[in-house]
Structure 1
Amino acid sequence: MGEIDTLLDQGAEWMPLLTDIVINLAVGLVVFFVGKFIASKVSQWCEKRMLKASVDKAVAGFTSSILYALMFAGVILMALGQVGVQTTSFIAILGAAGLAVGLALQGSLSNFASGVLIILLRPFRSGEFIDAAGQMGTVDRIELFHTYLKTPDNRVIIIPNSSIMGSSIVNFSREATRRLDLVVGISYDADIRLAKQIMEDLVAADERILKAPECVIAVSELADSSVNFILRPWVNSADYWTVRADLLEQVKYAFDEKGVGIPYPQMDVHVHKQES
């Protein structure tokens, strides 16, 4: 009986401590999950507000990602403090661990730094069509470590930010106008003056083609099987692909109607009979 009484006395002494530990742990978990939920909602709300204020979609997404990361880190510290972990010492440990992790994750830190540079330097904006890191697409959003592009066939391309900043970036949408660079070949027996006049008439008739800068139409090469013209009209960037397709189609129809031949690669073979 004496041993049982001793165990009961010890259990009674430990019970308040265990109760406090369980309560603190439960409260810490509640703080963690509730705080995480609030951080997510606040970051989403801030992104929506920035979009309503006509802030660029890429900037809004990047800012909301940083805000969520900072709030989530604060929630973790609050939850640990509630559990009883000394956050001051924990922060010091995190600093030392962060240095080690930073050295191990240089690529991720490089992506983050590149993301900051993209936001600051603004080589492209959301909705612009670019060629970066060997990929082409419309910029959808910029996040902490990656940039999301959408291709014309609705594929999503996720590119590390460091790859974008470490390569050439071609922005097809930044300028209001673009030049079409077309090569049109005619056969050697076709009338060069007639072919040039046909292309000039087609360019003059298309209202989408700008009058200034002036369209350039000239012979560029006497190739193996054709006489090649360069056809370089200027259009609004939004009309680039439609004008390109329509102009090529109209050139083909007009050449067929006027009897201007469009050649295809061919080879002449001469056979010589050797007399015995």
Structure 2
Amino acid sequence: MDNIFYSASEILFKDANVLINIRDWFFSQAGNILLALITFWVGRYAIKWVKNFAVRIMTKASYDSAAMSFITQIINYALLVGLILICLNVLGVPTTSFIAAFGAFGLGIGLALQNNLSNLASGLLILIFKPFRAGHIIQVRDTIGSVKSIQFMYTIITTRDQRNVYIPNSILTSEAVTNIAYTTERLIPFVFDIGYNNDHHEAIKILKKIFANDKRVLNPKTMEIGISEFGDNSVRIAAYARVKSRDFVDVKYSIMSDVKDAFDKYGIDIPYPQRVVHIQNVDNSTGEIKGIKKKATETNVTIDDSPKS
């Protein structure tokens, strides 16, 4: 350590011209140095005023605290860099080279962190325009859950099975996001399968009665309900129940249970998938082709051995 101080002292004081040059520069630039210090001092107060003004505007606009903090930090550092360049210019230091160096440095960083900067910008857009907030239930692709927190790179969504899913913010601003929290009412799309041998009028009547008995269903009289499709193994009946958003899951589970009980009570079949297989055999003595029709389901097998003419 002593050697370091000795070397520094030798460099500074061995050549008196160094001290003389520093002294001459200081006295020749005394006015500019004082002006630069005053500029920096006033600029700091100006930056503080701009930050407080931005905070007041964002508070009136009901911005999130995270967005306000992030924006004020950007304002602070951007204005601080500008203030330093102004002070250097006052001292007579050419700032063109500094600006070029900052530009090249920023370009290199931007190319290296392109995806991260995209997530950062997307996070800022989410915080500013607020398509969703913490606590809202949203759906992104196949992920449905409650927004736990909005960070600058990722948004954390907690699913029903208590998994934390980190979704890059760039995905949330470039793809469709369903926000359930902004709607007070929702439609539950039901699809019920009944057998072709059942009376669909009777089945629809039973379904309407079930929906009418549940007071949480808001549209029992005007509900859209009817046959939606003739499937391979069943007649499909669709119904759309309107409920409060907070009752969505409870009503769905309750209605499905009530429908199963009612269909069992009134003999309405919920059919299994079925498959029909045709097997052809040849009688070696006569060369006649005989057919065997085999109808198979998950619960039973029916075989028709009658030969085809």
Are residues 1:180 and 2:188 paired?
yes
Q: Secondary structure of 2:274's match?
A: coil
Give the aligned residue type for 1:61.
A
Amino acid in structure 1 at the alignment position of 2:186: R
Aligned residue number for residue 63 of structure 1: 68
In structure 2, the CA distance between the partners of 1:150 and 1:73, relative to structure 1 (3 Å rule), is farther
| Counterparts in 2 of 1:184 and 1:212: CA distance versus 1, 3 Å | closer
Fraction of identical pairs, as percent: 33
Q: How does 1:31-70 map to 2 (within 5 A)?
A: 59-67=64-72
1:153 aligns with 2:158: no
- Which of 69, 74, 97 is residue 105 of structure 2 equivalent to? 97
Q: CA deviation at 1:255?
A: 0.5
The number of aligned residues is 224
Q: Which has the larger Rg?
A: 2
User: Compared with structure 1, are the counterparts of its residues 60 and 259 closer, same or farther at alpha carbon in structure 2 (3 Å cutoff)?
Assistant: same
CA contact (8 A) 1:198 1:254 kept: yes
- Deviation of residue 177 (structure 1)? 1.1
Q: Which residue of 2 aligns with 1:114?
A: 122
Pick aligned residue for 2:197 from 147, 171, 189:
189
Q: Secondary structure at the match of 1:64?
A: helix
Q: For 2:169 and 2:75, locate their aligned partners in 1 and report how far apart those are by CA, in whole Å.
A: 20
The answer as to 2:211 corresponding to 1:206 is no
CA distance in 2, matches of 1:211, 1:153: 31
Question: In 2, distance between residues paired with 1:97 and 1:271?
Answer: 76
CA RMSD after TM alignment: 3.7
Q: 1:117 to 1:274 in 2, by over 3 A?
A: same
TM-aligned CA distance change 1:140 to 1:64, over 3 Å = farther
Q: Give 1:148 deviation, angstroms.
A: 1.6
Which structure has more relative contact order (CA 8 Å, sep 6+)? It is: 1
Q: Give the direction of change, closer, same or farther, for the CA distance of 1:126–1:169 in structure 2 (3 Å limit).
A: same
For the 8 Å contact 1:127–1:140, the answer to whether it is kept is yes
**Are 1:145 and 1:161, in contact at CA under 8 Å, matched by a contact in 2?**
yes
What TM-score does the superposition give when structure 1 sets the normalisation length? 0.67
Determine if contact 2:191/2:238 at 8 Å carries over to the other structure. yes
1:123 aligns with 2:119: no
Gapped regions of structure 2 (runs ≥ 5): 1-5, 15-54, 81-90, 286-309
Report the counterpart of residue 41 of structure 1 in structure 2.
none
Paired amino acid for 1:169: V
How far, CA to CA, are the matches of 1:105 and 1:173 in structure 2? 34
Asked if 1 retains the 8 angstrom alpha-carbon contact of 2:134 and 2:147, the reply is yes
Question: How high is the TM-score relative to the length of structure 2?
Answer: 0.60
Is it true that 1:171 corresponds to 2:190 in the alignment?
no
Alignment match, 1:264 = 272
Q: Distance in 2 between matches of 1:212 and 1:173?
A: 24
Cα drift, residue 60 of structure 1: 2.3
More helix by percentage:
1
